[in-house]
Structure 1
């Protein structure tokens, strides 16, 4: 698989899920509050509060999904460095060493497997 296709799929799955959590849930809350008969300004206030709760949930979603995407993509592309460059350019991942990259939540098994895949790539890197 080419790095740009892997990143496109990651943007769709990871960033799409993040957007659903960040904007979809507050929209559903707004609609539900309106259906309960509350006036629209109060419903908007509740939606804003829901957004404030959903923003950290969206970050958590990203933090959990990105390591899964990395494992999936690393095992399917030829050039991991190119994949990372495309991922950063697309806003899917942060550049290596960035503070926010450290917010990825990886299980010990994911850490081990990612390390193995990166070492295998480093060994055959041109």
Structure 2
């Protein structure tokens, strides 16, 4: 395999999306269409068309499990910062966390396993990190107005629909309406609080991190800083987690912020570099 050490993390992720996810999506989409076409062509029972959905899922998963291993070998061979690559691949939902049931479905031949085991040695070296000159002296992060607004709008429809089911004339769906009304109203209340909250949820600079309760934590007191993804698919949530010098852990949900996860991670990295440069002995 020809090795190109100039491949960036971003380039590797884009290639992974094209190499792995596109074929899987094609299988997921084309299998049901092909099955429905066959059903109509030969005048078969329409219920047989549903099997195309399951066939598409199976073919998509087989495609992913084979191609993701090929991508892993290429990407971890050609990218220098393997820690950043792995983290970005997980955030992009290209690969799964180590040890999960989904990660174990990747197909790896004996040769693949040997190559990946050899590539594991690259994780013994630290990533090369650089300061981003475009990051401002200080970053104030707020709840995203746009995200909160659309969630409030969607939940308001749920509350209205629930109320309608509760008090419609026939009153046949009262229980369903009550459950929908209660759940949507509760989530709506929490989201509306974020919509009207214009207080910074995080303030980050080269001195440290200030939390929403005005607690300041210096970079010298921050350990095990990482961005985590918990859950699967569209229900997955991302958190900023770190430990202070008193072994107190902070875990902050960051999906509702007005700064993207990748920019947040980039800014955190830059501020840490600036702190280290300013405090060299």
Q: Hey, what's the Cα distance between the residues in 1 that align with 2:89 and 2:10?
A: 8
Is the contact made by 1:80 and 1:118 (CA closer than 8 Å) also made in structure 2?
Answer: no
Partner of 1:113: 115
1:54-69 aligned at under 5 Å gives the runs: 54-69=56-71
Is the contact made by 1:26 and 1:50 (CA closer than 8 Å) also made in structure 2?
Answer: yes
Q: Hey, what's the Cα distance between the residues in 2 that align with 1:87 and 1:58?
A: 19
Is the contact made by 1:84 and 1:95 (CA closer than 8 Å) also made in structure 2?
Answer: no
1:34-49 aligned at under 5 Å gives the runs: 34=40, 36=41, 38=43, 42=46, 45-49=47-51
Partner of 1:3: 9
Q: State yes or no: 1:19 paired with 2:25.
A: yes
SS of aligned partner of 2:39: helix
TM-score of the superposed pair, with normalisation by structure 2: 0.40
Q: Hey, what's the Cα distance between the residues in 2 that align with 1:46 and 1:19?
A: 21
Shift of 1:48: 1.8
Counting matched residue pairs gives 121
When you count strand as a share of all residues, which structure comes out higher? 2
Q: Hey, what's the Cα distance between the residues in 2 that align with 1:89 and 1:103?
A: 19
Gaps of 5+ in 1: none
Q: Which has the higher contact order (CA 8 A, sep 6+)?
A: 1
Shift of 1:124: 3.0
1:78-89 aligned at under 5 Å gives the runs: 78-89=80-91
Gaps of 5+ in 2: 1-6, 128-281
Is the contact made by 2:28 and 2:56 (CA closer than 8 Å) also made in structure 1?
Answer: yes
